[in-house]
A and B are shown apart, each in its own frame.
Chain A
Amino acid sequence: EAGVAQSPRYKIIEKRQSVAFWCNPISGHATLYWYQQILGQGPKLLIQFQNNGVVDDSQLPKDRFSAERLKGVDSTLKIQPAKLEDSAVYLCASSDQGASGYTFGSGTRLTVV
Chain B
Amino acid sequence: AQSVTQLGSHVSVSEGALVLLRCNYSSSVPPYLFWYVQYPNQGLQLLLKYTSAATLVKGINGFEAEFKKSETSFHLTKPSAHMSDAAEYFCAVSERNTDKLIFGTGTRLQVFP
- A and B co-occur in one complex: no
Q: Which B residues form the contact surface with A (CB < 8 A)?
A: none
